[in-house]
Structure 1
Amino acid sequence: MNEWTPIAKKYDPLKAGSIDGTDEEPHDRAVLRAMLSRYVPNKGVTGDPHLTLFVSRLSPQTTEEKLKEVFSRYGDIKRIRLVRDFITGFSKGYAFIEYKQENAIMKAHRDANKLVIDQREVFVDFELERNLKGWIPRRFGGGFGGKKESGQLRFGGRDRPFRKPINLPIFPHQFNSESRGEKRHRSRSRDRSHDWRGQRRDYGRDRDRGIRRPEKERPYTKDDKEQNAEHTKRERSREQAKNDKDKEKKDSKRERSRERDYRKHRSDEHNR
């Protein structure tokens, strides 16, 4: 960890795809594509790479004259190359500026970054294609920086330097005050906590979808047995009371029917 630096000294696509440079496997296809690519710097590029400045995020309206006007305040400029589309001739939004003196490029690198030119905040860095060993450009899945929306962030450059990894100390077993039972209990508690959170999250998702989740069964306890016995007793008492009431109604109805038949019989005998 003593060799850790926020700015990469050598370009590694796998490390550039990690926020702290500790990834061991590529997390997206672009990183894998950069790892498998064999990029050779353009031999047709002239000029001293150690005196060349890279300027990006330029406005499409920015011209070489505007760049010379802005960057000449830091020192004498030898050459400006605004990269344009080969077919349309429109600016691609980045340029290379070569200075004559080293102190001029150092001053421009320090002061010109995030400078606003034609209502655009520009990004300034040293040329990396010929200076950084193992460099892979962004079109091959490499590069530095990037936006979150693109899903292709690259770390280790000036725009997005590496974050220092967090090292958690590992203590030997004999120096650990916790016993194995306490560790196991804490681990189970943590697992149950995660399970509970996951169930709560799933329940909320199903509730939003209108899905009714079945209630989780719990073990049968002594209190449940007593409650069930009391409930059964109340149900039986209620059923017995209902049966007695129905029987009383039937007896009363039968008695009224007998009395009605008796009166009818007496009436018939009297009429004779």
Structure 2
Amino acid sequence: MSREAQDDIDFQKYAVDYNPIKIGSIDGTDTEPHDRAIVRALNSEYTPNKLVQGDQHYTIFIGRLNPRTTQDTILAEFSKFGKVLSCRLVKDIVTGKSKQYAFVEYESSSSMEKALREMHKEYIDGAEVLVEREAERRLRGWRPRRLGGGFGGRKQAGQLRFGCRDRPFRRPFLIS
């Protein structure tokens, strides 16, 4: 089998495991970190929250929420796509203020897929939201943004990571 045919078989547009060096790479082939955030993610230790309940395969992450957005607003917006089993707006444990992201678990994958398609880059309370599949429990090796990982960020700041829907991996560069 040729190298090109093997690359086509091995290539995946979206991340299935979380490797900070690969996630920081355009085509997933880098072997050295190119910025400090990737080094920070490599050196960090992170254990997913064992208290989180629900099925990670039916859960979506909603980011970049307006600080004024409430859990009731999120529930109202996302229940249009199917039965919601749980909705959790993440808040700071000291101040009680929104951390501007939430998780919604659906009863079925079709409802979740529809919400992913329909709500990504839509506006809720005046803020354009990012909607992705939950990564913390789904991707082995996941690191959140605060530890230098994640997928999010702003394109202008050069913080976006590859392997997510907003910025999928490109086919590997072939050097012959």
Q: TM-score, normalised by structure 1?
A: 0.59
| Rg larger in structure | 1
Q: How many pairs were matched up?
A: 169
Q: Distance in 2 between matches of 1:85 and 1:153?
A: 24
Q: Say what the alpha-carbon RMSD is for the aligned residues.
A: 1.5
Match 1:5 to one of 9, 12, 20: 12
Q: Which residue of 2 aligns with 1:142?
A: 149
Alignment of structure 1 residues 26-175 onto 2, 5 Å: 26-168=33-175, 170=176
- Judging by fraction of residues, say which structure has more helix: 1
Shift of 1:151: 4.3
Q: Which residue of 1 aligns with 2:3?
A: none
- Judging by fraction of residues, say which structure has more strand: 2
Shift of 1:135: 0.9
AA matched with 2:89: L
Runs of 4+ in 1 over 4 A off after TM superposition: none
- What secondary structure is seen at the aligned counterpart in 2 of 1:97? strand
CA displacement, residues 33-85 of structure 1 (integer Å, 9 cap, x when unaligned): 21122321111111111111110111111111111111111001111100011
Q: Distance in 2 between matches of 1:148 and 1:74?
A: 29
Shift of 1:132: 0.9
Higher RCO (C-alpha 8 Å, min separation 6):
2
Could you tell me which runs of 5 or more consecutive residues in structure 2 were left unpaired when the two chains were aligned. 1-6
Could you tell me which runs of 5 or more consecutive residues in structure 1 were left unpaired when the two chains were aligned. 171-272
* Contact persistence 2:145–2:152 (CA under 8 A): no
- What secondary structure is seen at the aligned counterpart in 1 of 2:131? strand
AA matched with 2:101: Y
CA displacement, residues 120-145 of structure 1 (integer Å, 9 cap, x when unaligned): 11111111100111111111111113
AA matched with 2:32: E
Q: Distance in 1 between matches of 2:158 and 2:130?
A: 20
* Contact persistence 1:76–1:104 (CA under 8 A): yes
* Contact persistence 1:145–1:155 (CA under 8 A): no
* Contact persistence 1:145–1:160 (CA under 8 A): no
- What secondary structure is seen at the aligned counterpart in 2 of 1:81? strand
CA displacement, residues 162-217 of structure 1 (integer Å, 9 cap, x when unaligned): 1223324x3xxxxxxxxxxxxxxxxxxxxxxxxxxxxxxxxxxxxxxxxxxxxxxx
- What secondary structure is seen at the aligned counterpart in 2 of 1:46? coil
Q: Distance in 2 between matches of 1:164 and 1:102?
A: 28
Shift of 1:150: 3.6
AA matched with 1:27: H
Task: Give identity over the alignment, percent.
Answer: 53
Q: Distance in 2 between matches of 1:147 and 1:120?
A: 14
